[in-house]
Amino acid sequence: MFNLNFTICQNLKTELAHFTRYRGANEPLFCSGRGGALTVNGVYRVFQTAGEYLERDDIGTHTLRKTFGYHYYQKTRDIAGLMMIFNHSSEQVTKRYIGIERDNLERQLWDFKLGV
């Protein structure tokens, strides 16, 4: 059987190897402005600052997770794989989470007309 986690890890490992090739083993992957490791709060602040700069209030790690899922599904149509990535219990939960059910409903209603 296809091992999704193995493939994701291999792709990520390749990207990280490229990104970290000149870093020491104990250097943080993402650094703060002060030179130490970037904290969870630091990531939050980066997203808040980016949102303010873009005049958006809908940017965050959770939004990025959902956006990844939406685009992954649009490209692959692999809802089972996405369920595994997100650790969801059903296709319906995953589709609702990434907004696919809403997209489908809006598409169906777009040309719907009552009467003649």
pTM of the model: 0.59
37 phi and psi, to 5 degrees? -65, 145
pLDDT at 5 over 70: no
Q: What is the pLDDT of residues 41-92, one digit of tens each?
A: 888 888 899 999 999 988 888 888 999 999 999 999 999 999 999 999 999 9
CB 100 within 8 A of CB 73: yes
The token pair that represents 92 in the structure block? 């319906």
Whole-number pLDDT of residue 2: 47
Alpha helix positions (H), 1-116: 4-20, 40-53, 61-76, 79-86, 91-98, 100-110
The burial class, CB within 10 Å (0-12 / 13-18 / 19+), for 57 is exposed
Is the model's pLDDT at 1 over the cut of 60?
no
Residue 37 DSSP symbol: B
